[in-house]
Chain A
Amino acid sequence: MDHHAEPVVELEDAVVVLGSFPALAGVDLVVARGEILLLRGPNGAGKTTLLRLCAGLLPLARGRGHVAGCDLTTQRDAVRARVGLLGHANGLYADLTVAENVRFWGATVGATPGEVDAALDRMDLSRRLATVPVNRLSAGQRRRTALACLVARRAQLWLLDEPHAGLDAAGRDELDATLRAAVGSGATVIVASHELERAGSLATRVVDVVGGQALALRGEGG
């Protein structure tokens, strides 16, 4: 990790309360541009909550946070426009083709046809698969399509929740290569995963998310 690189995520004593349950209890975290950060921890530790906070989907109950230079309390819409969250779902329209999905998501930020084509190219989707409806794709191909949508949306920060789930070996290799390429072209990636061996080899830094309500983070070089 380049500690002098511009921070994309800065959280200071971040607290998120879901109902009456403190899902995040005072998180401090800095993620620099170009990192692939792995969040690891047991179920219920708060990994997904942390991703959703960084996506601007959950309000801060206490503390401060900035994502891509925008305040998590006062500029949540601006945060959302700069991040891409890929959870267990892909956010795709099954009846539309791969190209139509990527074009639609690109259009939400005014992407040009050239940018859409570039996103399809980058995910190796521009030839045979572009005209195939999403409901005929394999799980890996759907994931790749979803990532192409993030590229077309010009997302600066990719937040991926269990991205390897449901993929076969080839799909996982493909995903890892895609994420490395994304980072090579300026994106920052945060991955929450149980697949520590796979995600750990991909990550430039690993952070532990510990303990249901109370959440502690520990950084270690990767």
Chain B
Amino acid sequence: MSTWRTALLIAMKDLRVEARSRIVLVQVLPFAGLVMVLFAFALDSDTVLERVSPGLIWMATVFSLLIVVQRSFGVETADGALDALRVAGVRASGIFVGKAIALAAQLLALEVLLTVLAVVLYRAELDADGLVLFVTTVLVATCGLAFVGTLYGGLAAGAKGRETLLPLLLFPVVAPVLIGATRATEAALGASGAATSEGWPWVALLVVFAALFGAGGTLAFGSLIEE
């Protein structure tokens, strides 16, 4: 079975599992929303909130990524399914891409909610040019986060204390996405007086990051989940 067919099979399975369990819907989305609301309470200043809203969107996304990744691999390890996939000779590259696709789909749903909350709570504004930059930023950053999350989720899946190990591994690595996506979103929203054109170099950084981790993960995932 080709990598792409395997990826599609794994992605459909992961999304079906999520549709049945509704963990993202009833736990992760409310969690992300709560993070945004708590930031609003903590900062409690319209000027500050407007300025920092891009960073808060991506901070909430990264926190939520952790939960979604742990859930994604928890499903695989709970009854030995990841082991069974290896035994079945299912292409590791297909598993990696498939899980990343499912993760990206869930993150996108989350980011839509966070953006709506940012507009409502932090009074963020988007014009047409900014919208194009923002949508591009969201798509590329989501790909990067999904690839990194899947790679490190697979790495931590077989480890003892994986619940605490995963954030230690993941957070330092996603720092470039957090910085790049925040700066690009600032430019898209015009926060801190940034012009829209200032955001595109950051999008380029996000593209490089996603490409590196996408390619690296596709090649290395098999070794990571091997014994």
Contact = CB atoms under 8 A, between A and B. Distances in A.
A105 B88 contact: yes
B20 interface: yes
A83 interface: yes
**Interface range on chain B (Cβ under 8 Å from partner):** 20 to 34
B8 to A, nearest CB: 10
A100 interface: yes
A90 B79 contact: yes
Contact of A87 (B1, B6, B80, B90): B80
Given A100-B16, A133-B20, A80 B89 contact: yes
Contacts of B75: 93-95
Contacts, number: 73
Contacts of A108: 1, 6, 9, 85, 88, 90
Contact of B87 (A84, A107, A109): A84
Contacts of B86: 57, 80
Contacts of B88: 80-81, 84, 105, 108-109, 153
Interface in B81-129: 81, 83-90
B21 interface: yes
A133 to B, nearest CB: 7
Contacts of B208: none
9 contacts: A57-B227, A83-B87, A88-B80, A91-B79, A91-B84, A94-B79, A104-B9, A104-B13, A108-B9
